[in-house]
Amino acid sequence: IAKISSDYGQIKAINISHRGASGHAPEHTLQAYELGNVMNGDYIEVDLQMTKDGELIALHDETIDRTTEKKGLVKNLTLKEIKKIDAGSWFNEAFPKKMSTEYSGLQIPTLREVLDRFSPDSKFFIETKSPEVYPGMEEKLISILNEYNLTGAHHTFGNVVVQSFSVESLKKVHQLDESIPLVQLLSYYAPAVITDTEVSKIKEYAVGVGLHYTAVSPGYIKKVTDSGLMVFPYTVNEKEDMDMLLDWGATGMFTNYPDRLDEVIQSR
Ligand code: G3P
Ligand code: CA
């Protein structure tokens, strides 16, 4: 476990700001990421999509429909078109109690803009989203990480973790650069069960797994962590659940409220 974070020995659990502190600010904006850091998140979670002209951007959905005022598939839009879109006002409308004038007109950031702003001081949990829709996504990711000295001999192990639901995408990343720790995201109909064979296969390329927190059981966490893999449940927003998952031995977790998780961790 100490492998993933050089200072893991000093912290009790890994706090991942899911889409930034997305319970407080519009997801996947620089403001949400900044807030995640302010709220003591250890990692900023970045979901990746790729534009028509091959730029990696931080966005959860394949479309811009839910989190902007426009509609369309990212793969059909150029970066120039993406940059004209307001990625913050939807949040003010959806969550009037949390609204801020600062959020109006926020842009969807590129991966480079995220790294320009936060690297090398922050750590990143980067997800290759819909890799089958975006051929070349992994090569592009590794090339950008190389540019920012976040791979190979230059980087501190664990400062960048790559995660995906796609086994193929993770194996491609592993082929391109064996030094990057990988987390296999898994989908389960609760409760989650994992076989020894599945654990062994994942261990060939990954250092951990991520799964929906409602599928997790103490036995699952014990089996996976006993094997040497880490476990990161997502997306855990209530303190009671955070506390319970830590009692069960979760390595850390994804949360929209890194401030709440920090309070739980500090109180233990
Ligand atoms: O990456 C962990 C978790 O974020 C996976 O679900 O849909 O929020 O990307 P999603
Ligand atoms: Ca994600």
Q: Is the pLDDT of residue 8 over 60?
A: no
Judge whether 141 and 180 are in contact, CB under 8 Å: no
Count structural domains, the chain.
1
Omega of the bond prior to 120 within 30 degrees of 0, cis? yes
pLDDT tens digits for range 169-203: 999 999 999 999 999 999 998 899 999 999 999 99
Active site residue 60: yes
Q: How many helices (H) and strands (E) does the chain have?
A: 10, 9
C-alpha distances in Å from residue 122, one per residue of 45, 49, 60, 63, 176: 11, 21, 20, 27, 23
Which atom of ligand 1 lies at the shortest distance from residue 129's CA? 9
What per-residue confidence (pLDDT) applies to 266?
95
- Kindly indicate the confidence band of residue 2, based on its pLDDT and cuts at 50, 70 and 90: very low
Residues within 5 Å of ion ligand 2, judged at the Cβ atom: 47, 127
Ligand 1 pocket test, pick from 63, 185, 255 with the greatest ligand atom count within 8 Å of Cβ, gives: 185
Residue 144 lies in a domain: yes
- Residue 138 inside a domain? The answer is yes
Active-site residue identified among 18, 24, 28, 212: 18
The answer to the question of residue 1 being in a domain is no
The band of 9, judged by pLDDT with boundaries at 50, 70 and 90, is low
What's the confidence (pLDDT) of residue 1?
A: 41
Query: Which range marks the domain in which residue 168 is found?
Result: 8-266
Whichever domain contains 15, its CATH number is: 3.20.20.190
> Does 171 fall in a domain?
yes
Has residue 2 been placed in a domain? no
* ipTM given for this complex: 0.98
